[in-house]
Amino acid sequence: MLFLLHRCSHLIKDDKRYYTWQYRLITGKKLDIDHPVTYNEKLQWLKLYDRKPIYTTMVDKLAVKKYVADKIGEQYVVSLYGVWDKPEDINYETLPEKFVLKTTHGGGGLDVVICKDKGTLDIAKVNNKLNHSLRTDYWRMREWPYKNVPRKIIAEQLLENESGDLFDYKVMCFSGKPELIQVHRGRFTHQTQDVYNINWEKVKISQPGYPYTEDQIAKPALLTKMLSLSENLSQNIPQVRVDWYIVNNKLYFGELTFFDSAGFARWEPEEWEEKLGELIVLPKIIN
């Protein structure tokens, strides 16, 4: 399927036709992009019509650091150690023992190298992974904001809790209002996802590939601050996910995501497809 998507990405020039074809191929459902109802249908509409140039800055893993620092303060931004055009330029002597390498235009964790011990790092393997990432068009699903992100490599602080368990809090915002928080655990082992509302009441909703658990996760002490900052960063945007980490009682910004799972992941129970869709108020198209 990925080969077919990549090939047709070049053959079908018209974005509207491509999104319609792509949606049918992946979900098995017909997409009426002119009259969207569900969450995923509206994400396809937003891909096509909500094209503010600032969105490219907001998904650029380097440029977004300054964007977020200017909006809410640099204390929430993960420390940057270096920027390079190609992996062969990386001077590892200047880096600490622990760090993260990633490409600025990537996504889904495929471009990430986590180093917990510089002395055991296989540099040749790292270079191969980063060079492959630099060559990869992560916008092949036509998530257009990624298309024009400058392709660079960055090194930044490795976030670790003393407990070794790092939660990923993903705040789903609609027109500047936080509504739900996805909590991801075990990202690089056995990843799970639980969903809470803004009052930290668990919502039984899941996506295939991210198992729901019966655990009751403790309410984060910084939840109110997290929601307030998410509201700030999501103003005047129909729908965006604001990701956060909490490390040793300090809040760190993760990333901004405009199209959760590229707008193709099922939500279960199925009724949530429309419930989430109702939260997205589509802007008027200005011709």
**CATH classification at residue 270:** 3.30.470
Instruction: Return the higher-pLDDT residue of 26 and 110.
Output: 26
Does residue 235 fall inside a structural domain? Answer: yes
C-alpha to C-alpha distance for 277 and 41, rounded to whole angstroms = 8
Task: Judge whether residue 8 has pLDDT over 70.
Answer: no
**Which residue is associated with the tokens 């990549």?**
6
Does residue 36 fall inside a structural domain? Answer: no
Q: What is the pLDDT of residue 138?
A: 73
Does residue 275 fall inside a structural domain? Answer: yes
Q: What is the pLDDT of residue 100?
A: 96
Q: Centre a 10 Å sphere on the Cβ of residue 206 and count the other Cβ atoms it contains.
A: 20
Does residue 11 fall inside a structural domain? Answer: no
Does residue 57 fall inside a structural domain? Answer: no
Contact 140, 5 (CB under 8 A): yes
Contact 20, 33 (CB under 8 A): yes
C-alpha to C-alpha distance for 240 and 255, rounded to whole angstroms = 10
- Within 8 A by CB and 6+ apart from 96, the residues are 81, 118
Give me the domain span that covers residue 269: 168-279
What rounded mean pLDDT belongs to the chain? Answer: 91
Q: How far is CA 35 from CA 12, 50, 52, 189, in A?
A: 22, 15, 21, 40
Contact 153, 130 (CB under 8 A): yes
Q: What is the pLDDT of residues 203-236, one digit of tens each?
A: 999 988 888 888 899 999 999 999 999 999 999 9
Q: What is the pLDDT of residue 285?
A: 76
Average pLDDT for 260-268: 91
Domain count, the chain: 1
Q: What is the pLDDT of residue 13?
A: 75
Does residue 116 fall inside a structural domain? Answer: no
Q: What is the pLDDT of residue 210?
A: 83
Q: Centre a 10 Å sphere on the Cβ of residue 96 and count the other Cβ atoms it contains.
A: 12
C-alpha to C-alpha distance for 144 and 151, rounded to whole angstroms = 15
Show the DSSP H helices in 147-187 as ranges: none
Nearest to 254, CA basis, from 237, 242, 266:
242
Does residue 218 fall inside a structural domain? Answer: yes
Average pLDDT for 248-272: 94
Instruction: Return the higher-pLDDT residue of 6 and 13.
Output: 13
Does residue 287 fall inside a structural domain? Answer: no
Give 9's pLDDT tier (boundaries 50, 70, 90).
low
Q: What is the pLDDT of residue 156?
A: 97
